[in-house]
């Protein structure tokens, strides 16, 4: 990147604050609808971070799938929920959820800190440099050659989900 | 990015000016300032074109309907957009009681943002584009998907059943039409072997409108639905839903929604010109003029369609997307993929042969499939979206 260090630093911290701040608001806001909107902001922040580390393809897919698809699904689900404006009352599960949450956070933080991150050298060797230039082409090749089985299985899974959803709707109408 | 942008006069001058002012170590400020200058220019130019387009559309609709259209402000009423803007800005800003104020206020902004973001990847002429993203097609699909959320925000935040109805309809429609739209884009991508809009233009030895008529038709239908334009304008169907998700909006908030809608049509025209009409390419005239003329052609057809076709019912719209456009778009992609394998090098001659094959398939396929598919209402879906008895 041609950017100065200070510039990327500013962008990174802005994105980080937006992402984490909105994620915190998702938990805190009373209105579930607003919480869902903050979740979208959080997704977009993550997309921004992807774009910052030169993973353009991942960034765009993040916006497409999470910002477009998943967000609409979540908001749809929220709109069909009762007590949208007040949120749920707290339940007895809360302490357990808190402990599980802290445990998960600890595990994630530990693995991130402990992991040995492979840092790419400034001048990239040939094949890796091509990957950065034409990510979609390379990804497409891999998906349809080495990982074709996983690709197809994912397709069948989605098909099963569609058929499942259809059959659920159908049942309700027959009754 | 980089090269074409650095060659731009305005960009270079602003960059130089700020750098001289602050010194070498603040080059990133100069970089940002120069970028901002370009963004300001492009954004305002396109918004001005969008505003002028409102006049164009109203005038043209007037012609089609045997009346005059706006003709008081300035010669032929050209100043009408300015009069409208003054009126909208000076209006009292009303937020209905019981509205979710923050979400209500943000919705128009979220609506306008994707329109402007898409501009970043569109090549306006030979050598003039902001960014030649190698995933531009995907980027357009992704960014324009955000407007769905704006529609939901507006519909949910307004304390009005019509708004909610409008937004639910919009979401059902937008989500359905995204599928054929992306499949049509996929066809073009397969043909050009690239997702960069610049490479797509360069790959068009013949306009893709001629080479892949089916893809162009599907794209036209799907993009009209995505733009909420007639015959797919059920989301704001005036005669049944007041103004759909915009019902509670007034003043400049409403203005921003309308601006986004009209600018979207112009931007869609630009995308269509790039994908199917060779973008900036053609003879004699400068490339930018050709580009504008092609966009103008698309926009003219969009108005023509709006003036001609009656509105579909929502269940019919969804049926068209899933039963008609989706299978045809699969046929289109399959056909193009096979042809690309047969002719790995595609000059004008090869594209000509492909065009002949594609036309020979398109016409019977479109006609036959329209006989097979019925737009008969399926009762549960009709009940879900009917406004009667609520």
Average model confidence (pLDDT) for chain A?
A: 80
Residue of chain B whose Cα is closest to the Cα of A6:
B28
Q: For residue B373, what are the CA distances in angstroms to B97, B156, B174, B313?
A: 46, 35, 21, 16
Within 132-151 of A, beta carbons closer than 8 Å to B belong to 133-136
**What pLDDT does A125 receive?**
64
**What pLDDT does A109 receive?**
92
Q: What is the mean pLDDT of residues B127-150?
A: 82
Q: Where are the domains of chain A?
A: 1-88, 123-175
Note the pLDDT tens digit of each residue in A158-168. Answer: 999 988 887 87
Chain B: nearest CA to A64, how far in angstroms?
Answer: 4
Predicted confidence band of residue A129 (pLDDT cuts 50, 70, 90): low
Inspect the interface and report whether the beta carbons of B142 and A169 lie closer than 8 Å: no
Residues of B in contact with A136 (CB under 8 A): 134-135, 138, 195
Multiple choice CATH, A1-88, 1.10.3720.10, 1.10.1740.10, 1.20.120.1200, 3.20.20.70: 1.20.120.1200
Average model confidence (pLDDT) for chain B?
A: 81
Least confident of A56-60, A113-117, B96-100: B96-100
**What pLDDT does A22 receive?**
92
- Which range has the top average pLDDT, B22-26, B58-62, B165-169, B278-282? B58-62
Choose the closest CB to B135 out of A2, A76, A136: A136
- The answer to whether residues A40 and B119 touch, using CB atoms and an 8 Å cutoff, is no
B134 touches chain A (CB under 8 A): yes
- The answer to whether residues A35 and A29 touch, using CB atoms and an 8 Å cutoff, is yes
- Which range has the top average pLDDT, B7-11, B231-235, B338-342, B343-347? B338-342
Inspect the interface and report whether the beta carbons of B380 and A61 lie closer than 8 Å: no
**What pLDDT does A154 receive?**
92
Residue B314 scores a pLDDT above 80: no
Within 86-115 of B, beta carbons closer than 8 Å to A belong to 100, 102-103
Residue A172 scores a pLDDT above 60: no
Residues of A in contact with B103 (CB under 8 A): 33-34, 37
B22 touches chain A (CB under 8 A): no
DSSP string across chain A = ----HHHHHHHHHHHHHHHHHHHHHHHH-SSHHHHHHHHHHHHHHHHHHHHHTT-HHHHHHIIIIIIIIIHHHHHHHHHTSSSTTT-PPP-TTHHHHHHHHHHHHHHHHHHHHHS-PPPPPSSPPHHHHHHHH-HHHHHHHHHHTTTHHHHHHHHHHHHHHHHHHHHHHHHHHH-
Interface ipTM > 0.85: no
User: Which has the higher per-residue pLDDT, B262 or A126?
Assistant: B262
**What pLDDT does B380 receive?**
60
What percent of chain A is modeled with pLDDT above 90? 19
Q: What is the mean pLDDT of residues A74-95?
A: 70
Inspect the interface and report whether the beta carbons of A64 and B141 lie closer than 8 Å: yes
**What pLDDT does B1 receive?**
40
Note the pLDDT tens digit of each residue in A131-159. Answer: 666 777 778 888 888 889 998 999 999 99
Residue B2 scores a pLDDT above 50: no
What percent of chain A is modeled with pLDDT above 70? 78
Predicted confidence band of residue B177 (pLDDT cuts 50, 70, 90): confident
**What pLDDT does A175 receive?**
44
Inspect the interface and report whether the beta carbons of B28 and A3 lie closer than 8 Å: yes
Residues of B in contact with A67 (CB under 8 A): 142, 145-146, 149
Residue A69 scores a pLDDT above 90: no
Predicted confidence band of residue A18 (pLDDT cuts 50, 70, 90): very high
Residues of A in contact with B175 (CB under 8 A): 72
Residue A4 scores a pLDDT above 60: no
Note the pLDDT tens digit of each residue in A27-65. Answer: 888 777 888 888 889 998 999 888 887 778 888 888 888
């Amino acid at each position: 990147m041609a950017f100065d260090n200070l510039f990327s630093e500013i962008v990174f911290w802005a994105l980080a604050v937006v992402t984490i701040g909105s994620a915190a608001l998702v938990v805190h806001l009373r209105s579930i609808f607003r919480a869902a909107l903050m979740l979208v902001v959080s997704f977009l922040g993550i997309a921004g971070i992807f774009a910052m580390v030169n993973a353009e393809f991942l960034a765009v897919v993040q916006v497409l799938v999470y910002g477009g698809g998943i967000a609409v699904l979540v908001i749809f689900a929220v709109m069909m929920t009762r007590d949208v404006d007040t949120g749920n009352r707290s339940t007895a599960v809360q302490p357990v959820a808190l402990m599980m949450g802290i445990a998960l956070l600890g595990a994630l933080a530990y693995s991130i800190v402990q992991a040995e991150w492979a840092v790419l050298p400034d001048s990239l060797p040939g094949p890796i440099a091509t990957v950065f230039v034409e990510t979609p082409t390379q990804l497409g090749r891999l998906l349809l050659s080495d990982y074709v089985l996983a690709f197809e299985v994912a397709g069948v899974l989605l098909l099963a989900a569609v058929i499942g959803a259809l059959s659920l709707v159908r049942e309700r109408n027959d009754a | 990015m980089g090269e074409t942008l650095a060659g731009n006069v305005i960009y270079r001058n602003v960059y130089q000016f700020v750098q001289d002012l602050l010194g070498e170590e603040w080059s990133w400020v100069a970089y940002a300032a120069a970028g901002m200058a370009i963004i300001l220019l492009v954004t305002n130019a396109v918004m001005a074109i969008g505003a002028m387009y409102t006049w164009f559309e109203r005038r043209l609709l007037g012609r089609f309907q045997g009346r005059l259209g706006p003709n008081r402000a300035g010669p032929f009423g050209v100043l009408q957009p300015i009069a409208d803007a003054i009126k909208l800005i000076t209006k009292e800003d009303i937020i209905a009681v019981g509205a979710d104020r923050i979400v209500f206020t943000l919705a128009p902004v979220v609506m306008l943002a994707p329109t402007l973001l898409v501009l970043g990847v569109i090549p306006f002429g030979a050598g003039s584009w902001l960014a030649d993203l190698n995933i531009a097609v995907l980027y357009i699909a992704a960014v324009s998907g955000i407007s769905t959320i704006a529609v939901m925000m507006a519909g949910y935040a307004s304390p009005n059943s019509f708004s909610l109805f409008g937004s639910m309809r919009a979401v059902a429609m937008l989500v359905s039409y995204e599928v054929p739209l992306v499949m049509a884009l996929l066809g073009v991508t397969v043909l050009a072997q690239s997702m960069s809009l610049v490479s797509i233009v360069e790959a068009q030895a013949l306009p893709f409108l001629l080479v892949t008529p089916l893809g162009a038709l599907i794209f036209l239908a799907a993009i009209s639905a995505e733009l909420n334009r007639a015959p797919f304008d059920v989301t704001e169907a005036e005669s049944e839903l007041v103004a759909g998700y915009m019902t509670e909006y007034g003043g400049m908030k409403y203005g921003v929604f309308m601006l986004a809608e009209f600018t979207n049509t112009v931007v869609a025209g630009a995308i269509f010109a790039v994908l199917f009409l060779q973008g900036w390419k053609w003879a004699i005239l400068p490339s930018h003029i050709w580009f504008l003329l092609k966009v103008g052609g698309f926009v003219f057809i969009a108005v023509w369609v709006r003036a001609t076709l009656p509105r579909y019912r929502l269940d019919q719209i969804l049926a068209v997307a899933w039963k008609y456009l989706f299978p045809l778009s699969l046929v289109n992609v399959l056909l193009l993929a096979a042809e690309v394998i047969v002719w790995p090098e595609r000059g004008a001659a090869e594209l000509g042969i492909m065009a002949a094959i594609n036309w020979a398939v398109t016409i019977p396929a479109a006609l036959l499939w329209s006989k097979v598919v019925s737009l008969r209402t399926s009762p549960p879906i009709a009940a879900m979206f009917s406004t009667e008895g609520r």
